[in-house]
């Protein structure tokens, strides 16, 4: 009965148009009254404790790093380097989008920021060259959702904090699956690009490629700092976020000289606005998590799924199907915050590695960013390309299916995650 009330009140509040954070608080207060445990002091205390968390400091710094990358010219130089490498081959701008998506993912951790940045640069070029704008937009949106999987991932930080899972291990475990997502997009685009009758970009000389590499060198060094620092135990995830933000500031201001006081101020404001929304949502979700523990909801869910605990693959298929469905109606951040405390006890009871499950969960939540009607990356890319949501859905569909196949492959072959994780850690 408690689970049913939780779902009904939460969905009811969302249907009424209430923001997710407030819907979570209303649901928590309602259940407190239902359980006769209401206390305003407990609500306030959990809200404050939710923000008072050292690893959470990584989120605003990674968001700031992404803003500084875009404003400081790092993003543009990465795209130009990818363009010099593969822009001349058939469908070359599509491969540029995939390469840029993977590189951006290894620097910012934000799917929305990466998609908007790559789309703003490449869409005008692709339209001018004769590419189908729906398919091009779908490809860029699909490459953007690699960001929550490859470190540094804001989603992994949230999952690790809520589930008490090592964030460093999650970061390392996401590298190979993120690259597989890029490979799946490459194969899909290769098949589709045959239908594209487009103007090819000119082939760059080795001298020009070297020049573009030199221009992008300081930007390309950022993923090396992140992964090398984490792999070598030099930085914690929170510390590496600060290092990356400062690095993006210094490179944009003193190497590329595109950052001035005005653009730095604007980047700080944008990062602060985005971070405040995410942080408040986290605080509200932690109130809900506390209430779930008090109401013993995870144990009730484990009991309901008891018949499937002996078959790990079937259990993972059922859970991921559930997350796919929820992802069509809920954004990534609330999905992580609400479902993590519910699903992790099931995963642990079944003897499944929570780091491995975290990778599957994050890929699934990322796919939710592309599924209508709520898919935020889908809507952002439609706005960047100035096309209708229906056209955007048609363009993204083949790439969405490719990402779902990657998820299925990782469920069936967990060694694709666990073996590289053992080596990297």
- The whole-chain average pLDDT of the chain stands at 85
According to the model, what pLDDT value does residue 187 have?
A: 94
C-alpha–C-alpha distance, residues 287 and 46, integer Å? 5
Q: Which two structure tokens, joined as six digits, stand for 334?
A: 């609330």
3-state helix, strand, coil in the chain (%, to 5): 80, 0, 20
According to the model, what pLDDT value does residue 230 have?
A: 81
**pLDDT per position as a tens digit, 100-124:** 889 888 887 778 878 888 888 888 8
According to the model, what pLDDT value does residue 127 have?
A: 85
According to the model, what pLDDT value does residue 2 have?
A: 66
In 3D, which of 331, 410, 415 has the Cα closest to residue 365?
331
According to the model, what pLDDT value does residue 140 have?
A: 93
Residues spanned by the domain of 32: 1-38
Pair (301, 384) in one structural domain: yes
Query: Does residue 366 contact residue 146 with C-beta atoms inside 8 Å?
Result: yes
Pair (87, 32) in one structural domain: no
Query: Does residue 253 contact residue 239 with C-beta atoms inside 8 Å?
Result: no
CA distances (Å), origin 86, targets 82, 121, 212, 343, 351: 6, 16, 13, 42, 44
Find tokens 């790439």 and name the residue. 399
According to the model, what pLDDT value does residue 11 have?
A: 76
Pair (10, 64) in one structural domain: no
C-alpha–C-alpha distance, residues 192 and 4, integer Å? 45
Pair (25, 111) in one structural domain: no
Pair (50, 30) in one structural domain: no
Q: Where are the alpha helices (H) located in 296-388, listed in sequence order?
A: 297-304, 312-327, 332-349, 354-368, 376-385
Q: Where are the alpha helices (H) located in 16-166, listed in sequence order?
A: 20-34, 40-51, 58-71, 74-86, 92-105, 111-128, 133-144, 154-163
CA-based torsion, 220, 119, 395, 147: positive or negative: positive
According to the model, what pLDDT value does residue 405 have?
A: 96
Pair (367, 417) in one structural domain: yes
Pair (56, 31) in one structural domain: no
Pair (5, 118) in one structural domain: no
Q: Which residue stretches of the chain have pLDDT < 50?
A: none
Pair (262, 150) in one structural domain: yes
Pair (150, 272) in one structural domain: yes
Pair (196, 101) in one structural domain: yes
According to the model, what pLDDT value does residue 338 have?
A: 82
According to the model, what pLDDT value does residue 149 have?
A: 93
According to the model, what pLDDT value does residue 4 have?
A: 72
Pair (66, 32) in one structural domain: no
Radius of gyration of the chain, Cα coordinates, nearest whole angstrom: 22
Q: Please give the tally of structural domains in the chain.
A: 2
According to the model, what pLDDT value does residue 372 have?
A: 79
């Amino acid at each position: 009965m408690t689970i049913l009330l939780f779902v009904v009140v939460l969905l009811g509040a969302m249907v009424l148009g209430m923001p997710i954070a407030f819907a979570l608080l209303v649901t928590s207060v309602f259940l407190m009254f239902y359980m006769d445990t209401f206390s305003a002091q407990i609500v306030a205390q959990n809200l404050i404790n939710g923000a008072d968390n050292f690893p959470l400091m990584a989120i605003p710094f990674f968001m700031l790093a992404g803003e500084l990358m875009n404003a400081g010219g790092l993003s543009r130089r990465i795209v130009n380097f990818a363009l010099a490498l593969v822009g001349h081959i058939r469908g070359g701008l599509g491969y540029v989008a995939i390469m840029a998506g993977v590189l951006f993912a290894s620097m910012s951790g934000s799917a929305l920021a990466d998609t908007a940045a790559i789309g703003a640069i490449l869409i005008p070029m692709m339209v001018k060259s004769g590419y189908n704008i729906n398919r091009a937009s779908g490809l860029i949106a699909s490459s953007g959702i690699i960001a929550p999987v490859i470190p540094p991932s804001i989603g992994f930080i949230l999952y690790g904090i809520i589930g008490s899972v090592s964030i460093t291990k999650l970061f390392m475990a996401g590298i190979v699956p993120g690259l597989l997502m890029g490979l799946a997009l490459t194969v899909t685009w290769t098949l589709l690009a045959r239908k594209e009758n487009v103007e090819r970009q000119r082939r760059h000389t080795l001298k020009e490629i070297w020049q573009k590499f030199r221009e992008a060198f300081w930007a390309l060094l950022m993923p090396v700092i992140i992964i090398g620092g984490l792999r070598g135990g030099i930085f914690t995830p929170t510390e590496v976020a600060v290092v990356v933000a400062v690095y993006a500031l210094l490179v944009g201001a003193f190497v590329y000289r595109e950052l001035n006081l005005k653009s730095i101020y604007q980047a700080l404001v944008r990062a602060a606005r985005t971070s405040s929304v995410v942080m408040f949502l986290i605080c509200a979700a932690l109130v809900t998590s506390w209430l779930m523990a008090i109401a013993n909801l995870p144990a009730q869910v484990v009991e309901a799924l008891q018949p499937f605990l002996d078959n790990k693959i079937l259990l993972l298929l059922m859970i991921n199907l559930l997350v796919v469905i929820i992802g069509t109606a809920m954004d990534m951040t609330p999905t992580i915050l609400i479902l993590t405390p519910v699903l992790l006890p099931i995963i642990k009871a079944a003897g499944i590695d929570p780091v491995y499950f975290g990778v599957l969960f994050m890929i699934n939540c990322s796919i939710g960013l592309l599924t209508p009607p709520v898919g935020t990356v889908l809507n952002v890319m439609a706005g960047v390309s100035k096309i209708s949501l229906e056209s955007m859905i048609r363009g993204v569909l083949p790439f969405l299916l490719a990402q779902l196949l990657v998820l299925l492959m990782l469920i069936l072959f967990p060694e694709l995650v666990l073996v590289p994780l053992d080596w990297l850690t």
